[in-house]
Every structure is written in structure tokens, then in C-alpha cells.
Amino acid sequence: MAARRPLIAGNWKMYKTSAEAADFARRFVPLVSGVADRDIMIAPAFTALETVAGILKATNVALGAQNLFWESEGAFTAEISPKMLAAAGCRYVIIGHSERRQLFGETDDTVNRRVRAALPAGLIPVMCVGETEKERDAGQTLSVLDKQVRNGLKNLVANELGTLVIAYEPVWAIGTGKTATKEQAQAAHQFIRSLVSNLFPAELAVAMRILYGGSVKPENISELMAMDDIDGALVGGASLNPESFGKIVCY
């Protein structure tokens, strides 16, 4: 097993009002309070961040956001800055989720801008990459990952890379119940790590956490986590219920 500290993260997408998020947090915190050997994060909607931050304070569960804008302030109606997220209590921010790429015009370039803006604000970016089913069927998985990782990390210097997390989320496995096999996930993670070691000092690639996302459940987390290059999970549907997400965290 690798020495990297696992990270189990919940991406709540557009679910839960502030009151529902608070109810989750109150029920979830005691279920995982004894967990000391891995990091835990939940990413509610923007409207629930401050409420949930209050409940997570002084616990072992960190708060994340699901997106940010790269400018620090200005006339950018409806956007949220890195500084605003940090002030709201966020430690992490998910960037470039495939739903952002597919539905909201996110590109490798805008992903890169967001990653570069998150780091100086002290936020840990969780940069998402992954191929569609069509790309996998066409044998393009590795070239898609190569392009997304290379462009997403463009113009970052080694000492900025620090805490950055990459999440491999094959688009065909998201919300479909169709998990990548542990071998498919491991192959993608290994490829990403070796690519990062070509772009940055190798020790940074060795230390970097790469999460798997796509239909992770209490039933499949253990076999995924047993793979050498899988350092955690980014969980959608199964993170919405405190008991099931608690089981995933305590795999």
C-alpha cells in the first residue's frame, strides 16, 4: 500500500438545502469522529457552505466547494471567488467536474485558470478528469487523460503543485451504477501519476493523491482502495446519506 493519506470526498452536486445539509452534517460527524488515518471532505452547494462550516468546525470533516471563479473580486455577476470560499470555511474546491465540462462549457483552459486561482487562496483543488464512453470505446482514454491533465496543470510550478488532488472520474461511470473495474481504474491512475512525474519532480507525483469517482458505494470501496495508485474516492450519490457515506469513509 502506498503511504499517501487517503481522502474520501463527497460531491453533493445540486442536492440539499442548507437545512438538509445541516441535518446531514449533524448525523454524519459522530459516525466518523473516530477516523484518524484518512481525510474526509464534503462539498455542499454554495448556499449551505457557511451553515455546514459551523457544524464541521473542530471536527475531522473538512468542507469543500464544487466550483469557483478565478478572479478575486469584481463585476462578475453570480460568481464566487477563491477568497470567498476560504472565508466561508472551505479547505477544498472541486474543479472541472465532467458535469461542468459537459453542461456548462468548462474547458481545459478554464479548469487551469480555476486551479491556478485556488492554490494562492490556500484551497486544495480537486481537479477532475475522465473520458466519455465514446472516447473509451474509440481507444482514446489515455490520450484524453493526457490532454486534460497536461492542460489542467499548465503553467503551474513545482512548489505550487503541493497539495493538489486529481480525481479520475470516467464519465460513463458517473451516476450509472457502472463502476470502472479496479483494474481499469488502477491503469488510469497509474497513467496519470506517470504523466505528472514527467511534468514535475517525481517525488511530487509520488506524493500526489489521485481519487477515483464513478458509482463508488460501500460495496466496492474496499477493492478500489486496495489498488496501488488509488488514494481515495470522490463520491456522488452514495455521499448524500450519512450512513452510506459513513460506511464508505470507514471502508
37: number of CA atoms within 13 Å, CB side?
Answer: 5
Binding mask of the shown chain, residues 151 to 180, with x at each position contacting ligand 13P by CB under 6 A: ------------------x----xx-----
* Residue from 63, 65, 119, 234 binding ligand 13P (CB under 6 A): 234
220 lies in the binding site for ligand 13P (CB under 6 A): no
Active site residue 97: yes
Strand partners, 40: 8, 61
Q: Which triple of cell numbers denotes residue 183?
A: 483494474
215 lies in the binding site for ligand 13P (CB under 6 A): yes
**Do residues 31 and 243 touch, judged by C-beta distance below 8 A?**
yes
95 lies in the binding site for ligand 13P (CB under 6 A): no
237 lies in the binding site for ligand 13P (CB under 6 A): yes
Q: Beta 92-95 vs 61-65: how paired, if at all?
A: parallel
Nearer to ligand 13P, 110 or 215 (CB): 215
- Helix then strand then coil, in percent of the chain rounded to 5, is 45, 15, 40
Distances from the Cα of 134 to the Cα of 130, 141, 171, angstroms: 12, 9, 10
184 burial type by CB count under 10 A (0-12 exposed, 13-18 middle, 19+ buried)? middle
224 lies in the binding site for ligand 13P (CB under 6 A): no
Nearer to ligand 13P, 169 or 229 (CB): 169
Stretch in the footprint of ligand 13P (CB under 6 A) among 19-27, 79-87, 148-156, 214-222: 214-222
Name the minimum Å distance from CB 203 to ligand 13P.
28
Binding mask of the shown chain, residues 103 to 132, with x at each position contacting ligand 13P by CB under 6 A: ------------------------------
Q: Per residue in 210-224, is it b (16+ CB within 10 Å) or e — as a string?
A: bbbbbbbebebbeeb
Stretch in the footprint of ligand 13P (CB under 6 A) among 47-55, 57-65, 104-112, 209-217: 209-217
**Do residues 170 and 163 touch, judged by C-beta distance below 8 A?**
no
> In the complex, which residues of this chain contact ligand 13P (CB under 6 A)?
11, 97, 169, 174-175, 213-216, 234-238
Question: Catalytic site residues?
Answer: 97, 169
